[in-house]
């Protein structure tokens, strides 16, 4: 029996479908009682993640898969964003975990973020799961604080903790910059990224969910932290070329030096966007693969094809 949060989100929705398909009994936490769930999923309505009494809903559940979070946003409006992130990502997570431990849940799987490790890497020097965390922004700091709190709960209660730190997740229905890039390519707009020779790790939604399901009952996952990616790192230029190929469109990439792009982004106060497009962020998933006898089941090209097909269907 699996208790799932964040079922209306990008990752949670996919996790629900995969868990049901794998034969798990799924009970899902919802804010809105009017949301329609897949067959085989039982719903539990709550108001506030940080103050809700989860004990009645968690009794009899073996595993919690916690996907719900206040996610990283591009245009933060709060005057105190760290406080807002902490309410959900720290206080909410730890409230749920304490109740889970108190009623005998055996394992708590937490979807964290690579932002716990930091914002970028030097080419050829990927993050590992055992690196000293260096979160920078409020989202990454809140996820790191939640991780520490979960480890404290595990140490005092015996409930097993599994932490998964994904890199950028893409899949059917992906939003934000990934969707924007697909739209630009689809329209044939020339893009100034032909000379970007960075290295970035990505993870297809199917690969992330496959790992998540693997950690539900794998003995090697107990009290471990895992990084996850597709196992193949790409430059922004290479990603755009592969994305264009999946869409059946040419990639019109202009060879503008990355230094010029960075200067322009700074002038436009788009430093974080420049980092994501021009900087490197690689992860080493060898620990994940060896401890869990796991490998990403879907290749980058296969995953991009699925994303492109969904995008084209959604335009009709």
Rounded to a whole number of angstroms, the distance between the first and last alpha carbons of the chain is: 39
Which of 288, 90, 314 minimizes the C-alpha distance to 203?
Answer: 288
Which of 212, 164, 308, 152 minimizes the C-alpha distance to 19?
Answer: 212
CA 215 from chain centre, in angstroms, equals: 15
Of 127, 139, 170, 311, the catalytic one is 139
Tell me, yes or no, if 139 is annotated catalytic.
Answer: yes
For 224-251, the three-class secondary structure string (H helix, E strand, C coil) is EEEEECCCCCECHHHHHHHHHHHHCCCC
Backbone angles phi, psi at 77, to 5 degrees: -105, -20
Which amino acids are annotated catalytic? 139
């Amino acid at each position: 029996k699996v208790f799932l949060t964040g079922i209306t989100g990008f990752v949670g929705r996919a996790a629900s479908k995969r868990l049901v398909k794998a034969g798990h009994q799924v009970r899902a936490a919802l804010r809105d009682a009017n949301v329609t769930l897949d067959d085989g999923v039982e719903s539990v309505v709550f108001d506030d993640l940080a103050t809700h009494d989860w004990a009645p809903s968690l009794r009899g559940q073996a595993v919690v898969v916690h996907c719900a979070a206040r996610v990283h946003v591009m245009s933060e409006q709060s005057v105190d964003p760290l406080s807002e992130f902490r309410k959900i990502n720290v206080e909410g997570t730890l409230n749920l975990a304490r109740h889970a431990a108190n009623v005998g849940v055996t394992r708590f799987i937490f979807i964290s973020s690579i932002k716990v490790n930091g914002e970028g890497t030097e080419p050829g020097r990927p993050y590992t799961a055992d690196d000293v965390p260096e979160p920078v922004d409020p989202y990454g700091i809140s996820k790191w604080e939640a991780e520490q709190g979960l480890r404290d709960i595990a140490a005092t209660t015996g409930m097993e903790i599994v932490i998964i730190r994904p890199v950028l997740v893409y899949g059917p229905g992906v939003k934000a910059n990934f969707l924007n890039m697909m739209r630009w390519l689809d329209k044939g707009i020339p893009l100034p990224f032909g000379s970007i020779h960075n290295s970035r790790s990505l993870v297809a939604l199917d690969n992330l969910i496959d790992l998540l399901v693997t950690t539900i009952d794998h003995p090697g996952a107990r009290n471990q932290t895992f990084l996850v990616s597709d196992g193949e790192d790409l430059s922004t230029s290479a990603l755009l070329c592969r994305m264009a190929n999946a869409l059946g469109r040419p990639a019109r990439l202009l060879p503008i030096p990355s230094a010029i792009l960075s200067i322009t982004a700074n002038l436009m106060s788009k430093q974080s966007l420049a980092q994501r497009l021009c900087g490197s962020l690689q992860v080493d998933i060898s620990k994940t693969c060896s401890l869990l006898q796991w490998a990403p089941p879907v290749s980058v090209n296969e995953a991009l094809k699925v994303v492109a097909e969904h995008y084209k269907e959604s335009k009709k």
